A and B are shown apart, each in its own frame.
Chain A
Amino acid sequence: MRFVLDAGQRAFADSLDAMLTAAGTPSVVRDWSRGEHASGRTLWSRIADAGVFALTVPEEYGGLGAGPVELVVAFVELGRHAVPGPLVETVAAAALLTGLDDPGPAKRLLPVLASGASTATLAPGPYALDADMADVRLTTPPGTNDLYLAPPAGAAEVRRSLDPARRLFPLPPGGELLASGPQVAVAAGHALARGRLATAAQALGVGLALLDRTVRYVGQRSQFGVPVGSFQAVKHRLADAKIALEFARAVLFGAALTTTAADVAAAKVTACEAAYTTARAALQLHGAIGYTAEYDLSLWLTKARALRTAWGGPRECRALVLSGRDRRW
């Protein structure tokens, strides 16, 4: 029992953090929100070079064969830097392809997803993220056990998300049939759990970034002649955010180790609620400046709300927790 990240895992997080800090993600997010993908694609290839999309892909398909813990470490950093794009969707699509009995689609698509040459999206609900730029668009029409490679979505079909960087599309029907049968349902379940875990990690990263930025801000901003961060009401709100995030971190890494449906659902709801609590505190403590789109805080504020519903909202995740087994040890 050694429930802490090892030196290698911590170094991986630090190197991703350094790379993303240098990349200046806020301007990439703003480009992406306007449907301009060039800077995002450049960033995508750097993230791929760092091994993020290869992490959980089996070695035989050009992946690293690492575990969900490394994936979670990576997605916390992606969330901390508000990196846009179908990141979760790409690793979930890879999980889906890996989970099929028929190795054909995996052989064809996994190497390009792992290397970052292609991006993927899929729709856990009615919408698929960034379906106008993703090359691999997986869809399983409701009520079927069929897996299709859907045609590209037209840019005109974009639905606005509360998070301007999340560009949602209904996937067009039809396309190329990739696989069929019960294997698709099993693999889709695997993909759902993987996407949910990565989303939880991303949400924790979003919450951590919001807390960091707000702590810095209230230390500098003065009112009544003292930093607002010296007021107990302000301190207590941030202390509560810190407590929520640190306990969410424990649930998240626990879920990465067990990967049971109930633990992953618990991680999703806990991390997203903690991030959202932090977002509310961050907005309040920044005051009007935090309520503007031009100030960078908005990039995390809106994402905290959107991630709450993505890949299974709080109600659905709590129901899964309650259907889990009673004894946890």
Chain B
Amino acid sequence: MDLAFTEEEKAFRAEARAWLTAHVPGSPLPSLETAEGFAAHRTWEAELAAERWSVVNWPARYGGRETGLIGWLAFEEEYWAAGAPGRVGQNGISLLAPTLFDHGTEEQRARVLPPMATGEVVWAQAWSEPEAGSDLASLRSRAVRTDGGWRVSGQKTWSSRAAFADRAFGLFRSDPEASKPHQGLTYLMFDLRAPGVTVRPIGRLDGKPAFAELFLDEVFVPDRDVIGEPGEGWRIAMSAAGNERGLMLRSPGRFLAAADRLRGLWRQQGSPPSAHDRVADAVIGARAYQLFTYAAASRFLEGASLGPESSLNKVFWSEYDIALHETALDLLGDEGESADSDWAEGYVFSLAGPIYAGTNEIQRDIVAERLLGLPKGRR
């Protein structure tokens, strides 16, 4: 058991740090949940991608540096420590890309991944529907076979980034006669500007259009945009959900940097004893999340699958993120009410954590039933 990095990993980290120091914007970009901010973030993603920093663990042919998981973790630590902007390409990079690596065709990877890496094509997720939250088996939007592809109709909602994104991915019911509700679903990618698509932005709590409703009316999706076999969407999506909740949705680096900033804020405010324990817990929590992730990555690299353990992860970081931001807002005193600070933006963002990617209630059920072996019961 060790926490030591190889010379190669250290050199990579040093190179990343030097590049970030030279390139990270001097002042924060506008919120990526606004049209102006979205554009500014796209420009930043392109700058990152130009020197292959946007997707460091990907194969070189798609724009990566093949660093592996440990390299990715190290890069993320440097990235957030440098105060670099949030990633507008996150949905595509952490949700769609792992699915394409596992289940896509080489043609799909070659076509979809490079423009994802550069921010030229930004992806929105389109899982949820008005009547289906964590219960994806109850999806109703349908895909009907047609010449050379599918005609897709229905309604998706809570589609993160869809207000300004270019394309989306999601599950559609392709076989309404299937014997079980989670069978007969097909995983599709589609263009948000295709004929028949209407995007209605939805303001989140602070009014910013962080997600959108999608109305789909006979939208044509060519066969080449089906991921895996038709009817296999559930299985494919579940492996993506494992990724989503697992190692790459929230990097430990983000919380380590945030906890350092919080400790700085606390000191700046004269180290008030009233916040002492909460600030300490934020520092400890970031370290705990980093070490837990290193342990999970070590097991993963030894060949273990992430499986239900990623549910531990998801509950932890989502609740940690809220506690950290609440502490910061409390420390800010009267300024804590101001919606214009980075802390306020982070706070609003954090509130969604326990709700999306499978609510924390569902995650706790998974922990109890699959890790502790408790009996299934009424929800």
Contacts and interface: CB of A to CB of B under 8 A. Distances in A.
Contact of A236 (B74, B290, B368, B376): B368
Contacts of B315: 239-240, 243
Interface string B277-316: 1011101111111111011011100100000000010011
Contact of A322 (B283, B288, B379): B283
A231 B363 CA distance: 15
A65 interface: no
B276 interface: yes
B378 A247 contact: no
Contact of B276 (A219, A247, A319): A319
Given A4-B299, A247-B292, A314-B277, A239 B1 contact: no
Contacts of B312: 242-243, 246-247
A230 B298 contact: no
A272 to B, nearest CB: 12
Interface string B152-193: 000000000000000000000000000000000000000000
Nearest to B363: A239
B361 A236 contact: yes
A236 B1 CA distance: 32
Interface residues of A, number: 50
Contacts of A226: 375, 377
B101 interface: no
A315 B280 CA distance: 9
Contacts of A215: 372-374
Interface in A283-329: 314-315, 318-319, 321-322, 324, 326-329
Interface string B1-25: 1111110010000000000000000
Contacts of B284: 251, 266, 269-270, 318, 321
Contacts of B1: 2-6, 9, 69, 253, 257
A144 interface: no
A153 interface: no
Nearest to B292: A250
A328 B3 contact: no
A9 B2 CA distance: 13
A185 B152 CA distance: 74
B4 A1 contact: yes
B295 A4 contact: yes
B263 A327 contact: no
A4 B74 CA distance: 18
A232 B294 contact: no
A63 interface: no
Given A236-B364, A239-B364, A327 B260 contact: yes
A269 to B, nearest CB: 7
A270 B70 CA distance: 25
B256 interface: yes
Contacts of A250: 288, 291-292, 294-295
A276 B277 CA distance: 17
A257 B374 contact: no
Contacts of B352: none
A225 to B, nearest CB: 11
A230 B378 contact: yes
A254 interface: yes
A1 B373 contact: no
B345 interface: no
Contacts of A128: none
Contacts of B371: 242
With most chain A CB atoms within 10 A of its CB, the pick from B2, B276, B280, B315 is B280
B224 to A, nearest CB: 39
Contact of A263 (B260, B287, B369, B375): B287
A75 to B, nearest CB: 15
Interface in A211-250: 211, 215, 218-219, 226-227, 229-232, 234-236, 238-240, 242-243, 246-248, 250
B194 to A, nearest CB: 41
B232 interface: no
Contacts of A247: 285, 288-289, 292, 312, 316
A218 B363 CA distance: 19
B365 interface: yes
A253 B291 contact: yes
A3 B315 CA distance: 22
Interface string A1-25: 1111110010000000000000000
Contacts of B299: 4
Contacts of A3: 1-3, 291, 294-295, 297-298
Interchain residue pairs A-B with the least CB separation, the first 4:
A230-B377, A235-B368, A318-B280, A250-B291
7 contacts: A1-B2, A238-B368, A238-B374, A240-B364, A269-B280, A321-B284, A328-B290
Interface of A: 1-6, 9, 69, 211, 215, 218-219, 226-227, 229-232, 234-236, 238-240, 242-243, 246-248, 250-251, 253-254, 257-258, 263, 266, 269-270, 314-315, 318-319, 321-322, 324, 326-329
